[in-house]
Structure 1
Amino acid sequence: MSDWLGPDEWQAVALSLKVAGWATLLSLPLAIFVSHALARWQFPGKQVVNGLVHLPLILPPVVTGYLLLLVFGMKGPGGRLLDALGLGIAFQWTGAALAAAIMGFPLMVRAIRLSIEAVDQRLEDAAATLGAPRPLVFATVTLPLALPGILTGAVLGFAKAMGEFGATITFVSNIPGQTQTLPSAIYSFLQVPGGETAAVRLVIVSIIIAMAALILSEVFARRLSNGMEGA
């Protein structure tokens, strides 16, 4: 692939994989926690939390990016705090990962929540009556049974992170080698004469990566389901 793509194109592909990978990895534990809370717990403001989780799905991505810029930009409260800790993320690839994680989070939570709700709660209650604490019940009963849904959520989050454009370009701009991901690179190539060929190559790469992720998730989900049925 490195011979087929130019240096700038390969750089955008590598950065996109890096951003999407970290966005998925860092947001998955929180997505599992939030999904379990929404599926199993009753608490004041539950619908408000559910609405906030899904807000990035219905807001224009540019609005989400602007809000991130206000909070985590160099003049924002979060940005000043991170800068003081030496962890500034504005106009960095880490900021792109944050934007991608936030945009993909609702898709992850939705898939994982549905999977947890599909777990027979009587199995959890039976484990609890045998003396197992709730965290142990979750780790040994709920989590294994919900694994196919968790995997689906992770793939959806990864795919969304790979394709995120609006929030990313608003928050961290479109800096080659630093924040220029696949969608940003495709947009840039389409803005210059003769850039259509490079844009088409990146579109093909995007499709290949997305299809590979979906196929792998389907294979792993089937293996997990077959393994649980055989256990």
Structure 2
Amino acid sequence: MAEYHKQLSSDAQKIPEHVAIIMDGNGRWAQKRSLPRVSGHREALKTIKRVTLEAQRLGVKVLTLYAFSTENWKRPKSEVDFLMKLPQQFLNTYLVELIENNVQVRVMGDMTRIPQYTMRAVSQAVEQTKSNTGLILNFALNYGSHSEIVSAVKKMVQDVQARKLDPESIDEDLLADYMLSPALPDPDLLIRTGGELRLSNFMLWQLAYTELYFTDTFWPDFNEEDLRKAVREFACRQRRFGGLNGKGGDNK
């Protein structure tokens, strides 16, 4: 394993700067074991910790985790209530370890519907880690990409009406500045666990040229080697961003 880390670190360009993960399969993991769905969500917290620390060791700079979507409110109330308690449980259990590993916690999403006890835990973690200079652990909480884009457009319209923004200056870069994570680079690699092959309204603007990696492994079973496998796959791909490849062909 040490040799593998050495091999990866020898070519930093092959390490994705920003990895985003759709953590799927918690409920099915539990059902497969004849356990209640919430058991899978509870087990998922351990996976978040070990994947975060492994991403840090590999040299990943930003790890964005899809923790709760705007569509997840449609689930049974008992499950939603449990999911809302998970950030507090995770941070109460692992915040000290995250601080020791120089991890900086951030959050993006619509916080207006998040319970106060959850927001207190998240705000405390953000405040206590804001000076850390290691991996940024960014939780997408009550996040939906459609909502994010609509909100960004509304803010731009308001600035135009207030004469703070010239409509002629609007371009892709400017619109990106109105998104929820303008200070972060777009994801280089998206990982989705659980076997589903869709993006589920996650960072649609930011994922335009992201490399996609899908695995059948349920999130509670996803481990350090699974992350390294995804990074190895990423390192083998040729990213063209719509341009020509080294042999003169196009990207089609």
Class of the TM-score when normalised by the shorter of the 2 chains: under 0.3
Larger strand proportion, structure 1 or 2? 2
Structure in which a larger fraction of residues adopt helix: 1
Q: Greater CA radius of gyration, 1 or 2?
A: 1
TM-score, normalised by the number of residues in structure 1: 0.23
